[in-house]
Structure 1
Amino acid sequence: MQFGSHGNLEQHGFARNRFWSIDRSPPPPTASCNKAFVDLIFKPSEEDFKIWPHSYEFRLRITIGPGGDLMLTSRIKNTDGRPFSFTFAYRTYFSVSDISEVRVEGLETLDYLDNLKSRKRFTEQCDAITFESEVDRIYLETPTKIAIMDHEKKQTFVLRKDGLPDAVVWNPWEKKAKSMMDFGDDEYKYMLCVEAAAIEKAVTLKPGEEWKGRLYLSVVPSTYCSGQLAPLTALQG
């Protein structure tokens, strides 16, 4: 919650660094019951109000399917007496064989904000995104499906999202990796961050309103590309 820095908030918000509770009164499941899930809830503390003075309920359902597919469903409800706005991003990091052997499909021809160039706006010119140096971009008005193809592992990560119009693509590369205290010098070679997000246009909730965002992650053979994958019904749950 709160991608980027906003006032006194830290770079990627504070909800990710707080203790959550098991949600004892979650919304009922609407899909098949052959999936395991847990519901978590986060409510701000008095200390949190000092950082961001709004009252809300943040519910997160984590669902795992029989084949290991993962679905994250977030609901944020305004329990305050006034409207508030926020940005959002799932911090999803993927383990890859070699970043130079990875390509991302589904974002071609789209506009993006380049964080390495003061968020100037550009249009993606490549047929697929490949990596030869540091990348830190926010792609705008993205499709509901994005594919991360790992040729060496012969597999493709498929992201399907709902309520999250943007997508962040990030790899720190060698120089920045060495400057990060919690990042190994060579770890940039084996990871890629692709995040479903709502950043360019902040979400605004009036009192009592609720926002919902969903991310579905699966792995398929790398012979598939983003344009060939048949629609899944998981996002309907």
Structure 2
Amino acid sequence: MNELLSTGRLQLNRGGSHLISAETSLGELFYLSSTTGFPPAQAIRGGVPVIAPWFADILGLSPKHGWARTKPWEVQVTDSGAESTLSVDGITLTYRATELPDGVRVELSAHNDSAHSQTVQLAFHPYFLVSDVEQVTLSGLADVEALDRVSGDYFTQSGLVNISGEYDRIFLETHSTCLVDHGLGRSITITAQGADSTVVWNPGEQAAASMADIGSGEWSNFLCVEPALLGPAHQGVSIAAGETRRLVMEVTVNAIEAN
């Protein structure tokens, strides 16, 4: 079931417990595809998808990015955000979105309700709204080893991250990152707790042309900077019976000189 819920400057969709909008004094934080119609049981292109209990198809499981982003959650709106839960296959996910003075905090926990250990991966997949993805820079990942998922090669990042063409890289550490966008006159700082990786993704013009849920030309208007808990060798983390793992992302925006 899809239902749009609003609280303060945040807007969520009950399907996937999906944060789709966060307004700040410097404008909207997140891209949302112009083609989005919020169909039931389908992923939404934009906002902040919740990724659990696995990331992409790394563990060889389907659907891609797990079942959390397409199932209806139990959502309760609060004065400062929303809290929601979803239980499937012995895993209970708990999600909280909290409005900050100029940003948002999201928290995701996975509790193992079963009598045996379970392997999980957790991530947030925010689509940050930018003026032009090929003109912004991302700092905080210099000297970090990364896997280029397009070429399959490992490399060490040198200096700032700049986007040109298809970009899909898993940085093997997590740091506070800063997305600088002089076109919009703002910087977005992303900090995480409980993550072991940072995924940076944009499909580029050519790949985006084959994605029906990205509006024409809109590939240049977002960059995904994704705090993730992927586990050793990206094979997930084991949660013992009765235990919990937690992932937190805080996003804040500040004014900078515009072009």
Tell me the residue number matched to 1:16: 69
Q: 1:185 aligns with which of 216, 235, 258?
A: 216
| 1:197-223 Cα shifts (integer Å, max 9, x gaps) | 112522210000011110001101236
Assess if the C-alpha contact under 8 Å between 2:138 and 2:162 holds in 1. yes
Tell me the residue number matched to 1:168: 199
Q: For 1:9, what is the secondary structure of its paired residue?
A: coil
Tell me the residue number matched to 1:139: 171
- Could you tell me how far apart the structure 2 residues matched to 1:8 and 1:173 are? 26
- Could you tell me how far apart the structure 1 residues matched to 2:238 and 2:228 are? 15
Unaligned runs of 5+ in 2: 1-51
Residues 72-221 of structure 1: matches in 2 within 5 Å?
A: 72-118=106-152, 120-125=153-158, 127-143=159-175, 145-201=176-232, 202-221=236-255
Displacement of 1:58 in angstroms is 0.4
Tell me the residue number matched to 2:85: 41
Unaligned runs of 5+ in 1: 25-32, 45-53, 224-237
Displacement of 1:38 in angstroms is 1.9
Tell me the residue number matched to 1:229: none
Displacement of 1:23 in angstroms is 6.0
The RMSD of aligned alpha carbons is 1.8
Assess if the C-alpha contact under 8 Å between 2:131 and 2:183 holds in 1. yes
- Could you tell me how far apart the structure 2 residues matched to 1:77 and 1:194 are? 25
Aligned residue pairs total 201
| 1:37-90 Cα shifts (integer Å, max 9, x gaps) | 32100011xxxxxxxxx401100011002x242001111100011101111210
Which is greater in Rg? 1
Q: For 1:141, what is the secondary structure of its paired residue?
A: coil
Displacement of 1:22 in angstroms is 3.0
Q: For 2:205, what is the secondary structure of its paired residue?
A: helix
Query: TM-score, normalising length from structure 1?
Result: 0.80
Displacement of 1:184 in angstroms is 2.2
Q: 1:63 aligns with which of 88, 98, 113?
A: 98
- Could you tell me how far apart the structure 1 residues matched to 2:119 and 2:61 are? 15
- Could you tell me how far apart the structure 2 residues matched to 1:13 and 1:60 are? 15
Assess if the C-alpha contact under 8 Å between 1:23 and 1:59 holds in 2. no
